[in-house]
Amino acid sequence: MKKIAALIALGAMLASPALADPVEDFYKGKSIRLIIGFDPPGGYDLYGRAAATYLGNFIPGKPTVVPQNMPGAGSKTAARFLYTAAPKDGTVIGIVSQQIAQNTLIEGTVGEMDVTKFGWIGRLTSNIDMGITWANGPIKSIDDIRKRETVVGGTGFAASSGMIPRLLNLTAGTKFKIVTGYKGSGDITLAMERGEVEVVGGTGWASTKVNHPQWIAEKKITILYQLAAERHRELPDVPTVAELALKPEDQAMLRFIGASADIGRYLIATPGIPAERFAALRKSFDAMMNDKEFIADMQKRNVDLDYMSGDKLAEIVAGLMKTSPDIIARAKAALDVK
């Protein structure tokens, strides 16, 4: 009788439908908003839209991923929306400034937005922000900007385009006149093309290779500096911002800020989403980054990929949040943050 009962139970199990996947059930028929903290056509928009095109194919239930630009305050508008107002159910993810950790430390807003509570999904690429000017113009190096006032365009304090020139004015003896209020690096680039500004204060090396490959191939631009802890392998002759500082203590502070290059272009989830959905988003991101079709498409478009897992990315962010108070205080003083 026991054998018969076991066979009946086994038959019932085989005849019943497979156990439902709660993550698939949740996402099926839904859309995920991917909030991009800057306007097109800069690097954040480039990578955000690339992820939006492919990511949904790997998420259980295959939801549609819809990119939505939400510029403002160097992406702080988008970051605050993700942290406070967006649904905490896994239907909203985002891509915001790579300086997000440093900014909250320098501004003293960790209590308002603890970046370690975001769900760090994964990194699409590391990113070197750089200052550029026309190669046929009067500015050939930082030394020229130490000699005369030079108009530079930026989006605001929270983004590298406004922050780097100000730091260089304070630590490297430059004479940048900073004009902020642009929505993204694309707008600043147009301003430089129109002659409104002489320098783009911060734009991504990776996105420049995609959006303006002729500038590099035809040597139309001079790269003045790069924001990184170390010189990028493709920019060995371009000084890092830290190298330009005149005092050792300022060099240490600028290396702290330059560490944002390792954070790069990444996806985050809102804090507090259900664990199984967050795990699914990370797994889906990893699958996308290893997908042959996605990789081939990015290579065809000359888009750099430099994958880092969400776990590792979260470790880097957590490490930055433990930066010495002395270095943070120096950065705060340099940027005159009250």
Answer yes or no: is pLDDT of 19 > 80. Answer: no
Take residue 243 and report the two structure tokens written for it: 């190298």
Answer yes or no: is pLDDT of 4 > 60. Answer: no
Mean pLDDT of 38-49: 90
pLDDT tens, residue by residue, 142-175: 999 999 999 998 887 657 788 899 999 999 999 9
Confidence of residue 41 (pLDDT cuts 50, 70, 90): confident
pLDDT score at 185: 79
Answer yes or no: is pLDDT of 332 > 90. Answer: no
CB atoms within 10 A of CB 308: 20
Q: Is 31 helix (H, G, I), strand (E, B) or coil?
A: strand
Torsion (CA) 69, 181, 303, 128 in degrees, nearest 10: -130
283's enclosing H/E stretch is: helix 275-289
Q: What angle, rounded to 10 degrees, do the helices at 160-171 and 325-334 form?
A: 90
Residue 201 and residue 161 in contact, taking contact as beta carbons nearer than 8 Å: yes
Query: Which percentage of the chain shows pLDDT scores above 70?
Result: 93
Residues 6+ apart with CB under 8 A from 222: 132, 133, 134, 135, 137, 139, 140, 141
Take residue 19 and report the two structure tokens written for it: 């156990």
The whole-chain average pLDDT of the chain stands at: 90
pLDDT tens, residue by residue, 247-302: 988 998 999 988 889 999 999 999 999 999 999 999 999 999 999 999 999 999 98
Mean pLDDT of 292-319: 95
Answer yes or no: is pLDDT of 335 > 80. Answer: no
Query: Which percentage of the chain shows pLDDT scores above 90?
Result: 70
pLDDT score at 116: 97
pLDDT score at 15: 45
Alpha-carbon distance of 113 to 153, in angstroms, equals 27
Alpha-carbon distance of 156 to 98, in angstroms, equals 14
Q: Residue ranges of the alpha helices (H) in 125-240?
A: 142-147, 160-171, 185-194, 205-211, 213-217
pLDDT tens, residue by residue, 75-103: 999 999 999 999 999 999 999 999 899 99
- Comparison of pLDDT for 1 and 77, the residue scoring more: 77
All domains in the chain, ordered by first residue: 32-127+261-334 (3.40.190.150), 129-259 (3.40.190.10)
pTM higher than 0.85 for the full model?
A: no
